[in-house]
Amino acid sequence: MYNNDEVKKEIGKRIKELRERLGMSQEDLARAIGYKSPNSRSTIYKVESGKSDISQSKLTKYARALQTTVPYILGIENKTQNSTKKPQLIAPSKSVTYKRISHIDPLAPDEFSQKKDKQLVPVLGKVVAGIPIEAIEEIIDYELIPEKLASQGEYFALKVTGDSMYPRFIENDVVIVRQQDDVDSGSIAIMLIGDNEATIKRVQKFDGGINLVPNNREYDIMTFTNKQVQELPVRCIGKVVELRARF
């Protein structure tokens, strides 16, 4: 796992370098991404300075505005998108011509620059009801997962809090989660119950509903009827596919 401050600084360096190579100001980039507040320039400055995270949904917009890829911004690859288009691009928001980039030398140190068979996923501090995973801005760290695994779906990582799954999972462990809205009975999943924060539990299904089972026997099994599952609701956010224990 990488130091989050280091990752943010390297991402910021890449964004700034791309922006300057394109001849864009911070205001230009903010407009291209869709920031509309009077403090949009400050937002870009904080990102480029490594003082602010970028949500997953915003990463795609940064990549599009900077004519590159999300893996390049994250340091997973060291080439921007090659393009067969003309070497200039007219910005849609104003009549300014920006240069198109075909290659930029690596900015990140060898430790951060990753092979193409790896993908970086964000470690989230929590998952709450009403906010899509890709829109969550509380990114506390990053983890690498194999490209083969990444090709099988959308992933995020989640920091374990509490001791309801002790001793299998302990506080501050990190679990790798594949996003999916259902799991087989017996799987460990990230579950949302009503408006509460997400919880990690083993799912047991039966004809009349489901049980969410903790590993720690000091905690009660949570049982929900099929009606409660629909009305509360009780929703599956994803399946835990890997544990990365912290010692």
Residue 105 lies in a domain: no
Of residues 237 and 80, which shows the higher confidence score?
Answer: 237
Mean pLDDT of 151-177: 92
Of residues 76 and 235, which shows the higher confidence score?
Answer: 235
Total domains present in the chain: 2
Per the listing, tokens 């480029």 go with: 48
User: Burial of 86 by CB count in 10 Å (0-12 exposed, 13-18 middle, 19+ buried)?
Assistant: exposed
Residue 51 has pLDDT above 80, yes or no: yes
Give the model's pLDDT for residue 147: 85
Give the model's pLDDT for residue 107: 35
The domain boundary, picked from 99, 132, 151, lies at: 99
Per the listing, tokens 């280091």 go with: 6
90 and 55 co-located in one domain: yes
Give the model's pLDDT for residue 209: 97
Residue 223 lies in a domain: yes
Contact 241, 176 (CB under 8 A): yes
Report the chain's terminal Cα–Cα distance, integer Å.
13
Residue 23 lies in a domain: yes
The domain boundary, picked from 33, 66, 99, lies at: 99
90 and 156 co-located in one domain: no
Mean pLDDT of 90-96: 38
Domain that holds residue 73: 4-99
125 and 73 co-located in one domain: no
Residue 135 lies in a domain: yes
Residue-wise DSSP of 178-204: EE-S---TT-EEEEEETTSBPEEEEEE
125 and 90 co-located in one domain: no
The domain boundary, picked from 31, 66, 99, lies at: 99
Give the model's pLDDT for residue 78: 61
Contact 57, 135 (CB under 8 A): yes
Helix (H) or strand (E) holding 239: strand 234-244
224 and 124 co-located in one domain: yes
92 and 143 co-located in one domain: no
Contact 164, 214 (CB under 8 A): yes
Mean pLDDT of 211-221: 95
Which is it for strands 209-213 and 222-225: parallel, antiparallel or unpaired? Answer: antiparallel
**Residues in the chain, overall count:** 247
Give the model's pLDDT for residue 131: 65
Percent of the chain with pLDDT over 70: 76
Give the model's pLDDT for residue 196: 83
CATH number of the CATH domain containing 123 = 2.10.109.10
What residues are annotated to the active site? 164, 201
123 and 168 co-located in one domain: yes
Contact 32, 24 (CB under 8 A): yes
Residue 106 lies in a domain: no
Contact 91, 28 (CB under 8 A): yes
132 and 237 co-located in one domain: yes
Contact 191, 202 (CB under 8 A): no
Residue 75 has pLDDT above 60, yes or no: yes
Q: Whole-angstrom Cα distance, residue 39 to residue 21?
A: 23
Of residues 105 and 208, which shows the higher confidence score?
Answer: 208
136 and 198 co-located in one domain: yes
Residue 113 lies in a domain: no
Of residues 130 and 51, which shows the higher confidence score?
Answer: 51
Give the model's pLDDT for residue 110: 40
Which is it for strands 155-159 and 118-124: parallel, antiparallel or unpaired? Answer: parallel
How confident is the prediction for the chain on average, in pLDDT? 80
Q: Whole-angstrom Cα distance, residue 179 to residue 73?
A: 23
CATH number of the CATH domain containing 71 = 1.10.260.40
95 and 133 co-located in one domain: no
Spacing of C-alpha 24 from chain mean position? 26
Residue 104 lies in a domain: no
